[in-house]
Structure 1
Amino acid sequence: MEPLLRALWGTALEQDLSELPGLDNLAQPTGVLAEAQAVVAATVGSDRAWFLVNGATGGLLAALLATVGPGDRVLVGRNVHRSVIAGLVLAGAKPVYLGVGVDPQWGLPWPVTRDVVAAGLAAYPDTKAVVLVSPTYEGLCSPLLEIAQCVHNHGVPLIVDEAHGSHFAYHPAFPVTALAAGADVVVQSWHKTLGTLTQTAVLHLKGERVSAERLSQALNLVQTSSPNYWLLAALEGAGVQMAQQGEQIYGRLLQWVKTFEWPLPRWQPPGIPQDPLRLTLGTWPIGLTGFALDELLQPQIIAEFPSGRSLTFCLGLGTTQTMLETLADRLKSVYTEYCHNAPLPPLAIPSIPSCQEPALSPREAYFCPQRSIPLRAALNEISAETIAPYPPGIPTVIAGERFTESVIATLQTLQELGAEMVGASDPTLQTLRICKV
């Protein structure tokens, strides 16, 4: 065996076990895994919880496969992660995208509102499910209490991608959880904000609008039949840690955060619940993009997400008071050096229309004959690919949508700023892949 791998892993490789007697079976748990999942469900307030070993992606795929089928109408927040689009390809459902506003100063998206959801349900009464992301990457939350009531009055389930809000259940200072707000199916990416390993997540069910049996069937379609038990043990351990120490850990961290002042403006839209551990700072006042400031801070400090006019930091379990002091000092140093620069001009990113039906469903676009053409010739053509600046993976164009002038301009602008275009067959964007219809 490679000596470096042995040095890094030690005896861990010897404990890389599979479905042995006493270890239970994730595909049909009846023993220790079933008990661990039940503890997690009881702690956060769901009726049932499933451990996921291929990230929140697997949970979102299963949620769609369990609630909608070929030709069914589904309302989807336009700021969803690209894994939801993959779920639409698998399920064959026809989406209507719910638009989001964009803060004109920050160039960042707001969460989906109750009025937009209500308008979508009124315009499309045949809707079978609603899928939203809350919180957003910057920690902004939709008014889920009002949205859940609206969706349930229509008689359909609400699915919430709560990937970045797994910690909300463990301290009263955090926004209300999606489950407490009334969501039926909730997917949490535990590895993003809790103390567990990468690609671990949890799927929650509450109520009877969605069948638990159907969710289990769907998970067995999209999850590996050979889950890594280190991942499962990490999930169990994180659940125990949060149940026993979560409020204490987060209470201490929240107190530390309150003691620091940041030299750059912090994005806190009034009237919108926000995760206090997401720190989004505006970089435009000192003439820097978020990408440029991110490079200046590295390698000592690595931010969560740079954008054209801001930089987002994710504070979590591993954050110490010393780390926060280091961040504050480094930001003050950069501010002192660049504060005499002219501010950046506004970055015009248009808001997304409230309700928009694509030319083709993602499944139709996926199986449609395709070809590549120069970017300049793509205007009004139907995209065959979902292109998402990464992180966080929110698509600028979704397969099945037309390339408009604003979409092409946004792609070019974000590429010039340094974003990585995930999903593009040509990462340079010299060509775009379109549907031949």
Structure 2
Amino acid sequence: MTTSTAPPANVRPPTEPQLIAPYAEALRAHSETDWLRLNVPGHSAAPHRFGALAELVGSAPLALDVPPLLDGIDLGPGSPLDRALVLAAQAWGARRTWFLTNGASQGNRMATLVSRALGETLVVQRSVHSSVIDGLVLSGQRAAFVQPSVDPSLGIAHGITADDLADALAAHPGAAAAYVVTPSYFGAVADVRALAEVSHRAGVPLIVDEAWGAHFGFHPDLPANALAQGADIVVSSTHKLGGSLTQSAMLHLADGPFADVLEPLVDRVFHLTQSTSASSLLLASLDTARQTLANSADAIATSIEAADAMRAAVRAAGRFSVVSDDFGRFADIAAVDPLRVAINTRTGGIRGHEARWQLMKHHQILVEVATDAAVVAVVGAGSAPDTARFVQALHALPDLLAPSAAPPRLRLPEPGPVRMTTREAFLAPSRVVPADRAVGRISADTLSAYPPGIPNVLPGEVITPELVDFLHRTLTAPTGYVRGAADPDLATFRVVDTPAHR
């Protein structure tokens, strides 16, 4: 395992300015002044007056919780916030970076709205996060979907190949942009360089939802980030493995062939979508996360070693298998995120949803994702979890599946035919009908088995029997949840109210 801090070509060396966190430091200095706060927020940083809140989060967050437009923090050119944004752009290799306080979901909606200025059709990987579909509702664009590869034995989607993207762009010569997601929930990394080359040859920018790859490029044993591979806009969910607070994220713009056109568009859409009361706590956490990532090669090496130890122990015990060991047979997978530990639980006699529930309830261990066949544990960049505790708990799980039962070849439902654009269906008159009467009707909602939040049906698509069955089976799992459902039990579906069905 490489632990040297000397970076190879795909890793940006830390510079002296990366040692500071200007926004976080200015915020801390402001909190240490004895202010008479007659402005918002209403708690006025007075823990003795707002005891329940102070007891919940502590008095320090109250003092750090300040409104925007304060001199010496975020007001005016060259402010600490401006300097923090410049440092973030330098750390990720961007022309410009925006701090987001509504998660990578905000970044995906931003990028989709930006693309609408470039054309009416967006070429989109079908397994993008539901927030991209929300963006299509806002933009009104038509989507030309590119199907990802799917592992039928596990029922999980990976990525798309450059050839598949090239075919889709050739079929839609007036496309606005290409939109892909990498890495996947399971750590599969696409060949972004090849995807960027294909997009640029077609004359369109490449937008990458790199929500799960904020840590990429900060250690030689991690994949290079999407900006370094030629992507034009990159959405980064910094809180996931990068160490910032939940709901904080970044959007990066590359200094590439489309930068002059994209930059003013991104800036305008940012102001359209960002709260006018952006959380200073979230902004400061982004600043410190960048500071930490840029100076943590040794700590990240420890994290990689911990994840490697988990996989090695699972292989050695022989009961379960490691999902990424089988990635080599998929043409769309170019690399693997070593901080994602995906375990095939079915080989060990237990379904993934049940394993996740058992680990939480009986071992006080939280894993990120569960499917019918697998669980995914994530190791934050710089963290050092108790690997032995996880492995011991994993192998203490009960064997609930019959030994003679062959693992089924799980199948994600094929999308139904498209009858309307996403926006048309979302805004059309709709009604809620029982599940059995929804089959054959046009969905007015985005429905996603969650996690991972990849849409299974979109507004404008026909609801199929296979889709209804898949979503109902998702709900039977201990931790199953369908985002966007008209009711939590999925007894009903919201469909477009067409004259033919009245």
TM range (shorter): over 0.9
Paired position in structure 1 for 2:394 = 331
Specify the code of the residue in structure 2 equivalent to 1:330.
Answer: A
Partner Cα separation in structure 2 for residue 152 and residue 351 of structure 1: 32
Paired position in structure 2 for 1:37 = 85
| Structure 1 residues 305 and 342: alpha-carbon distance in aligned structure 2, compared to 1, 3 A threshold | farther
Cα deviation for residue 224 of structure 1 reads 0.5
| Structure 1 residues 70 and 415: alpha-carbon distance in aligned structure 2, compared to 1, 3 A threshold | farther
Paired position in structure 1 for 2:272 = 221
Paired position in structure 2 for 1:345 = 407
Paired position in structure 1 for 2:27 = none
Structure showing greater radius of gyration is 2
Contact 1:76 1:98 in 2 (8 A): yes
Paired position in structure 1 for 2:307 = 257
Q: Provide the alpha-carbon RMSD of the alignment.
A: 2.1
1:200 aligns with 2:245: no
Paired position in structure 1 for 2:484 = 423
Question: Sequence identity, in percent?
Answer: 33
Cα deviation for residue 286 of structure 1 reads 3.0
| Structure 1 residues 69 and 343: alpha-carbon distance in aligned structure 2, compared to 1, 3 A threshold | farther
Match for 2:286 among 231, 235, 252? 235
**1:360-399 alignment, distance < 5 Å:** 360-399=420-459
Specify the code of the residue in structure 1 equivalent to 2:271.
Answer: N
Moved more, 280-289 or 383-392: 280-289
Paired position in structure 2 for 1:143 = 191
Paired position in structure 2 for 1:435 = 496
**1:16-415 alignment, distance < 5 Å:** 16-18=65-67, 19-25=69-75, 30-69=78-117, 72-206=120-254, 207-209=256-258, 210-245=261-296, 247-259=297-309, 260-262=312-314, 263=317, 264-268=320-324, 269-270=327-328, 272=333, 273-299=335-361, 300-317=364-381, 319-321=383-385, 323-334=386-397, 341-343=403-405, 345-350=407-412, 352=414, 358-415=418-475
Cα deviation for residue 413 of structure 1 reads 2.4
Q: Which runs of 5+ in 2 are unaligned?
A: 1-48
Specify the code of the residue in structure 1 equivalent to 2:352.
Answer: G
Specify the code of the residue in structure 1 equivalent to 2:456.
Answer: T
| Structure 1 residues 38 and 408: alpha-carbon distance in aligned structure 2, compared to 1, 3 A threshold | same
Moved more, 58-67 or 379-388: 58-67
1:9 aligns with 2:61: no
Q: Which runs of 4+ in 1 moved over 4 A?
A: 337-344, 350-353
Partner Cα separation in structure 2 for residue 174 and residue 391 of structure 1: 24
Partner Cα separation in structure 2 for residue 153 and residue 394 of structure 1: 28
Q: Any idea what SS the aligned residue of 1:395 has?
A: strand
| Structure 1 residues 350 and 290: alpha-carbon distance in aligned structure 2, compared to 1, 3 A threshold | closer
Cα deviation for residue 275 of structure 1 reads 0.7
Deviations, residues 352-387 of structure 1 (Å, cap 9, x unaligned) = 57xx97321111111111012221122221100001
Specify the code of the residue in structure 2 equivalent to 1:427.
Answer: P
| Structure 1 residues 332 and 287: alpha-carbon distance in aligned structure 2, compared to 1, 3 A threshold | closer
| Structure 1 residues 324 and 214: alpha-carbon distance in aligned structure 2, compared to 1, 3 A threshold | same
Partner Cα separation in structure 2 for residue 148 and residue 282 of structure 1: 32
TM-score (norm 1): 0.93
Cα deviation for residue 99 of structure 1 reads 1.0
Cα deviation for residue 192 of structure 1 reads 0.6
| Structure 1 residues 380 and 393: alpha-carbon distance in aligned structure 2, compared to 1, 3 A threshold | same
Cα deviation for residue 343 of structure 1 reads 4.5
| Structure 1 residues 357 and 178: alpha-carbon distance in aligned structure 2, compared to 1, 3 A threshold | farther
Partner Cα separation in structure 2 for residue 30 and residue 324 of structure 1: 44
Specify the code of the residue in structure 1 equivalent to 2:159.
Answer: P
Partner Cα separation in structure 2 for residue 421 and residue 29 of structure 1: 44
Deviations, residues 96-143 of structure 1 (Å, cap 9, x unaligned) = 111122212111112122222111112111111111111111111122
Contact 1:70 1:92 in 2 (8 A): no
Q: Any idea what SS the aligned residue of 1:211 has?
A: helix
Partner Cα separation in structure 2 for residue 342 and residue 288 of structure 1: 13
TM-score (norm 2): 0.81
Partner Cα separation in structure 2 for residue 70 and residue 90 of structure 1: 15
Cα deviation for residue 339 of structure 1 reads 8.5
Moved more, 6-15 or 181-190: 6-15
Contact 1:73 1:96 in 2 (8 A): yes
Contact 1:194 1:316 in 2 (8 A): yes
Cα deviation for residue 164 of structure 1 reads 0.5
Cα deviation for residue 165 of structure 1 reads 0.4
Specify the code of the residue in structure 2 equivalent to 1:303.
Answer: V
Partner Cα separation in structure 2 for residue 237 and residue 117 of structure 1: 37
Deviations, residues 317-355 of structure 1 (Å, cap 9, x unaligned) = 46425x1110111122237x66974456314314757xx
Q: Any idea what SS the aligned residue of 2:235 has?
A: strand
Partner Cα separation in structure 2 for residue 124 and residue 176 of structure 1: 30
Moved more, 77-86 or 254-263: 254-263
| Structure 1 residues 181 and 225: alpha-carbon distance in aligned structure 2, compared to 1, 3 A threshold | same
| Structure 1 residues 317 and 122: alpha-carbon distance in aligned structure 2, compared to 1, 3 A threshold | closer
Cα deviation for residue 240 of structure 1 reads 0.9
Q: Any idea what SS the aligned residue of 1:43 has?
A: helix
Cα deviation for residue 312 of structure 1 reads 0.8
Deviations, residues 219-270 of structure 1 (Å, cap 9, x unaligned) = 000000111111111111111111122x211112212333341141011111
| Structure 1 residues 160 and 386: alpha-carbon distance in aligned structure 2, compared to 1, 3 A threshold | same
Cα deviation for residue 393 of structure 1 reads 1.0
Cα deviation for residue 12 of structure 1 reads 2.4
